Every structure is written in C-alpha cells, then in structure tokens.
Amino acid sequence: MQEFIIRNAWLVNEGQRFRGHLHIRHEMIHRIYSEELPLEVMHIPFLDAGGRYLLPGVIDEHVHFREPGLTHKANLYTESLAAVAGGVTSFMDMPNTLPQTVTRFLLEEKFAIASVRSLANFSFYLGATNDNLQEIVKTDPRTTCGIKLFLGASTGNMLVDNSRALAAIFEQAPTLVAVHAEHEPTIRENMARFTSRYGNRIPMTMHAQIRSADACIRSTSNALKLAQRYGTRLHVLHLSTAAETKLFDPSPGVAGKKFTAEACVHHLWFTEEDAAEKGTLVKWNPAIKTTADREGLRQALMENRLDVVATDHAPHTREEKAKPYREAPSGGPMVQHSLPAMLELHRKGIFPLEEVVRKMCHAPADMFRIDRRGYLREGYYADLVLVDPDRSWTVGPDNIRYKCGWSPLEGTELSHAVTHTWVNGNLVFENGQIHDKYKGMRLVFNR
C-alpha cells in the first residue's frame, strides 16, 4: 500500500495555519505532525512541500459534467481531470443530462459510468419532476447527495411548476432538496417585454434585467416558505442578489442548519458590466448582477448567511456560446479555476485564506454530512491539494483542461497555482501532469 509523507507544508485547516508534515497511509491521513518528524518515520518516502499551502481537497457540490447525452460539451473524464487540476477532489453532479436523471435506475447508471471514468470522488443528484415523487421518496440519503429541484427553467428545462407536486416534494423528500430559485412567471413577463422592444436582437447586457433580481428574490422567498411549512432540509443554489442573502440566518456552522445557501465563484467575481466585453461567455442563470450585489454576496459569505462556495460548472462549446443572446445557452466552465480564483480574492484582501478553506472544503462536508472528507484530520481520506502562493500564471488555451476549451477567465492572471492534488491518497495531478491510473470513489453520507 502507498505510504508517504508531505513535509514542510503550511497546513490550512479548521481556522488555523501551521507549519507541519502530513503522513499518508492506505488512502488515509495517518498522522499530522506540527513539530519535528520522529526518527521512526524518517525512512518513509516524502515530498518536500517547501512551505507551500497544504489544503483539504475542494468539494464542489454543484457541477454539470454533461454525461450522459451531452458529451460533445464535456464528460465525466474530461471535467474530473479539469477538477483535480484545480484542486477539486470531490463533486456532486446535476441531473439535467440526456436522459434526465429522474429515476433511481438512471441515477445508478451515472454512478457506474463515474466509477470507471472519474478521477475525482463523486455523487449525483436525483432530479425532481412534476410526476416522479415515487422515485424521490425511495432515494437513499446515505448514498445520494440530494434532490435537485428547478423552480425556474434553465438548461434542460426540468421546471417543476405544479403546486401539488411541489408541496409533496417538500413534504416527503427523504434528504436535502437543492433548488434553482428563479420565479418563472416573472422571467417570462420580462422576456416578453424585451422581445417587444428588441425583437430577436436582445442585447446580452439585458440578461440581468430579464432574469431579474425580483425573479430571484420571489422564488427564494417562496422556497423558504415551503421549507418552513413542511420542515424540509433546503439548500438554495447560486444566490445572485444581496437582498436574497438577508433571508438566511448568519449562523456560523452549517451542520445543524435547516436552510442553507450557496455562492458561486462567477457571482463573486464578475458583475453585469462584464457582459459588455465578454458577451454570452458570462451568460449564467441566475444572471450575474450589479456590483452592489457582488459586494453583498461577498459580505454575506463573511457573515455566514452564505454557507458554501461552488461553481455551477456548466460547459458549452464555443460555437454554442457564440450564438445570439436568445439562442446561446446559459452556463460556463469554472471547476478548474474556482480555487485559484478564490485564492486571488484572498490575495486582494477580500477573504481570509482560512475562510476560503472553510467555505470550499469544510462547509460542504458538514452540510452534506460526507463521510471523512473535507478536513485535514487523522483518520480522514487523504484528499489534498498543494498550492504555491507565489507562482503567477495566466489562464489561457495552453493550460485550460475543459473539453470545451475555453474559460470566462481567459487572459486573467492568477497568483496562486495548484501544484499537486491527491485523491484518496493517490497523486492524480503533479506540476501540470495528470496521473489517471486511479479513479475516485462514490461519496458516502452519514445521515
């Protein structure tokens, strides 16, 4: 069995930063040393970290890796490769594939594909529809991350708009319900208004007004009311407005929270002003909104109104994104660049380093009650990322790993670089080289 020690790293974990060494044995973290290594382990093979940061592997609880059925955009191999290149060691994938993952049989098919293709650890959401309640209620909370519910139509159009179906899902779901919250009638009304003004030539700069702040606030408020009525474990995805964050309590821990909320990297990085330059490359649902909203989201993270940071990684081809506004699909690739981007915001003084680790590693593990991941702890799986805080690099075609081959951050200089990533103690990424012999595991949930 593989055994080695990562020496002389700055370990960042549970609000602390200390110089130390980490001993890996049998896929697990065996020992953590904060002082000198004892003589009896000096013979064990080692990697000298040279003072780089050693972090728990990032857990991205919101991705779209497009397999099955949409593999011209991405697949479980290519996007998990991009994930580990960016320090993401576990992901949770959404159900709007082809076919849509709305039965337990189709869910298990995706797990089977991932077991032979994914370099990172994985789980998959079961999708909710207006008529699949019997599938939802039989979901095993120990082996499936959650139920995904679209309250606003987006890529794949899995909108659930039947009031009885919604009530039943909120009442009977046996595990966490993750919602895409946008008020569909408001969006349709806005689209009709802008169509009457612009016809089929609506500018991309109008996207934030069509998928408006009001549409988000109304839907998130409605979701919280349903969850309060039925006692649902609710998780609201990709908040995009400062006003929405005020609907959530500023509790410091997530393990006992009934209602939680997610921030996505693109909403923390871009504003609607970027649409003038980048066009549909920054077309997401919900839309990127104002500078004030971005600042409000950042503040809400620090206040613990927002609990986790994820990506909503959702690749499309360049050709698809180059279409006119109404035809171009929403979503963009981000999983390779989420940790470096958040570390860049740390460098700019926006987030403490320890807070980045908490929101991207600890909080997802606690929120979903993932078995022995998300922390640097003895007895936990050795999902690790080594980061050089002094290696600047520029996002470009020569280092983008996504199958779609582009990034909305292309041309951006980042100051932190991922140099090594381990998944279950196996080195899968090393100074730009991928080692794909080892595959990730299915995540297990203690609930």
At 225, which CATH number? 3.20.20.140
Domain count of the fold of the chain: 2
DSSP tag of 358: I
Asked if 364 and 387 sit in the same domain, the reply is: no
Q: Which residues contact 22 (CB under 8 A, 6 or more apart)?
A: 5, 6, 9, 11, 29, 31, 32, 33, 54, 376, 382, 384
Please answer whether residues 272 and 288 qualify as being in contact, where contact means their C-beta atoms are separated by less than 8 angstroms: yes
Asked if 192 and 222 sit in the same domain, the reply is: yes
Q: Is pLDDT of 252 > 90?
A: no
Asked if 189 and 234 sit in the same domain, the reply is: yes
Residue with tokens 């899995």: 158
Asked if 178 and 321 sit in the same domain, the reply is: yes
For 23, the domain range is 3-54+381-396+411-434
Asked if 83 and 118 sit in the same domain, the reply is: yes
CATH number for the domain including 45? Answer: 2.30.40.10
* Pairing verdict, β 58-63 and 88-93: parallel
N-term to C-term CA, the chain? 30
- Helix/strand/coil for 361: helix
**DSSP H helical ranges for 199-212:** 207-210
Output the CA torsion 121→127→132→138 (10° steps).
30
154 pLDDT band, cuts 50/70/90, is: low
Considering only CA atoms, give the Rg of the chain. 21
Asked if 348 and 267 sit in the same domain, the reply is: yes
Write down the mean pLDDT value for the chain.
97
Residue with tokens 């690099």: 393
pLDDT at 48: 98
Asked if residue 307 is part of any domain, the answer here is yes
311 pLDDT band, cuts 50/70/90, is: very high
Looking at this protein, which amino acid is placed at residue 5? I
293 is catalytic: no
Asked if 78 and 207 sit in the same domain, the reply is: yes
Asked if residue 278 is part of any domain, the answer here is yes
153 pLDDT band, cuts 50/70/90, is: low
Distance of CA 431 to the CA centre of its chain: 23
Q: pTM of this prediction?
A: 0.98
Averaged over 333-353, what is the pLDDT? 98
Residue 442 has, within 13 A of its CA and on its CB side, a CA count of 17
With both helix axes pointing from N to C terminus, report the angle between 163-172 and 213-230 in degrees, rounded to the nearest 10. Answer: 50
157 pLDDT band, cuts 50/70/90, is: low
pLDDT at 155: 60
Work out the angle at residue 335's Cα, subtended by the Cα atoms of residues 279 and 213, and round it to the nearest 5 degrees: 50
Asked if 48 and 62 sit in the same domain, the reply is: no
How far is Cα 306 from Cα 286, in angstroms, rounded to an integer?
A: 16
Q: Is pLDDT of 340 > 90?
A: yes
* Pairing verdict, β 308-310 and 46-48: unpaired
Asked if 212 and 316 sit in the same domain, the reply is: yes
Asked if residue 178 is part of any domain, the answer here is yes
Asked if residue 273 is part of any domain, the answer here is yes
Asked if 233 and 310 sit in the same domain, the reply is: yes
Q: Which residues contact 150 (CB under 8 A, 6 or more apart)?
A: 96, 128, 158, 159, 160, 179, 180
b/e code 159-175 from CB counts within 10 Å (16+ = b): bbeeeebbebbbeebeb
Asked if 129 and 274 sit in the same domain, the reply is: yes
Asked if residue 428 is part of any domain, the answer here is yes
Which tokens sit at 143?
Answer: 């082996």
- Helix (H) and strand (E) counts for the chain? 15, 20
Asked if 36 and 66 sit in the same domain, the reply is: no
Q: Say which of 312, 366, 383, 388 is annotated catalytic.
A: 312
The phi-psi region of residue 339 (left if phi > 0; otherwise alpha if psi is between -120 and 50; otherwise beta) is alpha
Q: Is pLDDT of 264 > 70?
A: yes
